[in-house]
Structure formats: C-alpha cells, structure tokens
Amino acid sequence: MKTPLLRIAVVGHTNTGKTSLVRTLSHQRRFGTVADRGGTTRQVSAVRLGTAAEALVELYDSPGLENAPQLIETLDALPGERHDGPTRIAQFLADPELVRRFDQEARVLELMLAADVGLYVIDVREPVLEKYLDELAILALGGRPLLAVLNFTASSESREDKWREALARVQLHTVLSFDAAVRDPLTERRLFEKLASMLDGFEPTLKRWLEHRRDEESERRRSAVKAIAELLIDVAALRRDYALSSAAERARELGEIRRLTRQREQACVETLLALYRFARDDYREAELPLVDGQWPDPPLDPQTLALYGMRTGRHLGAGAGIGAVFDVATGGLSLGAGTLVGGAIGAGTGLLRSAGERMLERARGRGRLGVDDSALRVLAWRQLSLLAQLIRRGHGSPEPLTPTAESRWKRERLPAALSRARHHPGWSALNDDAAGDDARQTACARLCAELEQDLNAVDMSPD
Ligand SMILES: Nc1nc2c(ncn2[C@@H]2O[C@H](COP(=O)(O)OP(=O)(O)OP(=O)(O)O)[C@@H](O)[C@H]2O)c(=O)[nH]1
Ligand SMILES: [Mg+2]
C-alpha cells in the first residue's frame, strides 16, 4: 500500500528560525534565505523528504506572521458563525481587499488549510506577548493540529518555562524543544514521533521516514569513516624513491610527498563535506578550522605537527626539519640497523620488516622516503574531529565550525592496519605502481572498525 504524503507547514512569527528549521530537518544548507531580521522569507516554498522510490513528507516554509493583532480583529468583525474557524478563514481569503492588506498572513493561512499539520516555531528568548497568542488563535481557526517548536532553548535568555506555561493555558500541549543549529537525530526522531501520535493515518509514513533517515545516517557515517581509512592507507603506503647520489632528486621527491599528502587530505575533506551536504562555499566567511574549505596548515609542516603536539625530527637524519617524512636510506646510514629498529624510528612505525628493504635499496643506490607516524596521527585526528562536528551540525546553524578543545589523537600506537600498509606500496593510490588487492580491503575494513571507535571517543564538549 502506498503511504500517504504528509504535508507539514512551518509557521510562526517572523525571524523565529522557520527557514533554519526547514534547513536542519531537510539537511539542506541552501534551502531558502536565512537572515537575522524580520520578513526574510516572502513566499511559501517546499522541500520533499523521502526515499528514492517515494516522497513521504513535504515541508513548507512560510513567511513570518507580523500582523496578527489587526487580523484577529478583522476576522472577528466578519459576519457569520463565530466558532466556525475554517469558514471564517475561507471568507477572509475570498476577500481580495483583505488578502492584499494582510498579504503575509493570507499566504500562511492558505498554506495551513492545505497542510495536514502546522509546526509553530517560537523564539523562546522573546517574552510571551499578546501578539504571539493572537497568532496561535488565528492558526487554530484553520482546524489543523499544531505542534509548538521551541527554538533558541539553549540561549541564556531562554524563557522556555514561561512559554510552556502559556502554551498549556491556550490548550497547546504538544510542545518540543528543537535547536535549529544542532542536528540531533534523537530530537529529530522525537519530533516525527510526536507528529505520528498527533495525527491519524500518518504513522506508516513517519515510520518509514524515520527508518530511512536512520539508514541514511549510518550509511553516510560508514562512507565517511571509510574515506578517512582510505586516506590513511594511501598516505601510510606512499613511497618515493631517489638516487642516493642526488640531493636534488631527494629534495624534489620530498616536495612531491608533501604535495601529494596535502592534496590527498583535501580530497578527503571534500568527500566528508559533500557526504554531509556542506559545500566549500559555506565556509568562505567562517574562520575555523577550515579556511576556504581547507585546513590552513599543511599536514607535513613542523609547525602543524607541533600544533597537534607531535614531536618529530629525531630520526630524520639529513631530512630533519622537513617534518614527518622518514628516509629509510639515510636512517640506515646514520644510525645502523639495530638502533634504527629499536629506537630511532619508534615502536609504532611498523618499519621492522623494512630492514631488508633498506639494504636492498642501498645496494641499488636508491633511497626511499615515506610519511612518518606523527603526520598520520595528525591526518587521522583532523579528519575524525571534522567528521564528529559534521555529524552533529544542523544545516540551519549560523555558526562556523569550531576546533575541538582536545587536539590530540589519544591512541598510543597506530592501528596495525596502518603499520601493515607501510610494507605495501601497492596499496597507495598515490604510488605509481598502485595495485589494490584483497589484503588492502581487509586492512581497510579493520581500520574502519578502529576509527569508528575513535570517532565515538571524540569529545565534542563544550558543544
Ligand atoms: N543560534 C541559533 N540561531 C538560529 C537558530 N534558528 C535560527 N537562527 C538564526 O535566527 C535568524 C532568523 O532565522 P530564519 O531561519 O531566517 O528565521 P525565519 O523565521 O525564517 O525568518 P523570516 O523568514 O524572516 O520570518 C537567523 O540569523 C538564523 O541564523 C538556532 O536554533 N540557533
Ligand atoms: Mg524564513
């Protein structure tokens, strides 16, 4: 059986966050226009929510109500049965003169008659003024159920209690706090569940929508974690060779490693933003942590590593100062195999097996460069914290993304899958001889599981 389409009208006083709420519920950053002044939205416009196969919900954004006190007097003065709300509204809408005079209100009332339910958005920083109660009284005339949505409840100026009390007095008992700036799947779920309990016949529609949302959310999260795992494997397995006799070639390959790493990280940032439907442009004016949709600090710069609390350079030999690139050949030359494996490269690098590789390279007169653990840690942490913020971020949020207080990956060692990637240059799409195999896929899946745990541990307070 086809599930009925639910039409939801988002209504309320002007500048209360109606358009922002539609953005957050539809996950569409670019829906309508949002501005901190009244009268921003002038027309009714809609967005459809549904699966690929069917539309389930239509959300209608509407212009703000501004003139309720006058309108209620006008409606009262109309002839006919006082308590027959829908008829009075029909009368009002049939009068071109009145419709012209109460232009915004007329659009909203027309919408209410066509919709199945109204979400009345309240800015709880406002005192409970008579004009808001007039709005509710007018909307009630339409005979459609109303759910009051309290916005800005997180503000220090919130008067949520006063509002709840006042709404109960006018018999509006279905009330929900919903911060348009935060995308909290739980609140979103509660909103739709409340609607299901208020409305007859729409339970299957709302159930299906909630299921779809949940699946979509976990699928998106899975794809995002996978994108991070792919980035880390690509960078861990990245290798560049150079002739030991040529300092110029070494310098060129170092530059190449830096360029490739930065580019690869940027590709991951863009994948994450796109998955969560945030575009690069959304951050043009935002200051942190992305500038123009990019991390401002290149991942292989010593300053960036220092910023993330990484110490580097000890084992880099001739490469010291370039930041987080290890050089198998010079390491071997300056320190000798024993020291190299035991101490200099560190326990986490997973280069143990490369002693043979190193000798081979040296015999051929070739050196080999790769990206160090510390840089991998920075990459992992930056992407995880970006993802954690994207997951929580409402599309109606006016705030730029902020960096997390804790800027360090808490892991002691790199995940084993990454250490393994070091021995498989073929696993990196950044290498010329890239050849993804089953083992890479297995490593990637393991890494995803570990990153998923890390993601849960990302502390998003003070949000
Ligand atoms: N911090 C915060 N700001 C919000 C929230 N909701 C809306 N805003 C801001 O409030 C202002 C008004 O938001 P809009 O969504 O344009 O309000 P509206 O009700 O559609 O306004 P009109 O179309 O003019 O009636 C904008 O500056 C939003 O960024 C919220 O939940 N938290
Ligand atoms: Mg608006």
Tokens of 377: 């840690």
Q: Compute the distance from residue 51 Cα to the ligand 1 centre, in Å.
A: 28
More confident residue, 396 or 54: 54
Q: Where in the chain is the domain with CATH 3.40.50.300?
A: 6-201
Q: Compute the distance from residue 137 Cα to the ligand 2 centre, in Å.
A: 21
Residue count of the chain: 463
Task: Return mean pLDDT, the chain.
Answer: 81
What DSSP designation does 282 have?
Answer: G
The residue behind tokens 């409840």 is: 153
CATH topology (fold) of 6-201? Rossmann fold (3.40.50)
Beta carbons of 11 and 108 less than 8 angstroms apart: yes
Q: List 120's β-bridge partners, or say none.
A: 11, 148
Closest CA to 315 of 279, 274, 344: 344
CA distance 43 to 324: 55
The total of other beta-carbon atoms located within 10 Å of residue 182's CB is: 16
What are the pocket residues of ligand 1 if the criterion is a CB atom closer than 6 Å to any ligand atom?
Answer: 14-20, 34-36, 38-41, 64, 151-152, 179-181, 396, 398
The total of other beta-carbon atoms located within 10 Å of residue 426's CB is: 17
More confident residue, 314 or 9: 9
Q: Which atom of ligand 1 is nearest to the CA of 40?
A: 24
Closest CA to 329 of 296, 357, 367, 303: 367
Closest CA to 143 of 89, 197, 82, 203: 89
Q: Tell the burial category of 194 from Cβ atoms under 10 Å away from its Cβ (0-12, 13-18, 19+).
A: middle
> Over the stretch 74-130, which tens digit does the pLDDT of each residue have?
998 888 776 788 888 999 999 999 999 999 999 999 999 999 999 999 999 999 999
pLDDT at 349 over 50: no
Please tell me whether residue 324 adopts helix, strand or coil conformation.
coil
Beta carbons of 144 and 172 less than 8 angstroms apart: no
The total of other beta-carbon atoms located within 10 Å of residue 398's CB is: 12
CA distance 233 to 70: 66
> Over the stretch 121-138, which tens digit does the pLDDT of each residue have?
999 999 999 999 999 999
Q: Compute the distance from residue 73 Cα to the ligand 1 centre, in Å.
A: 29
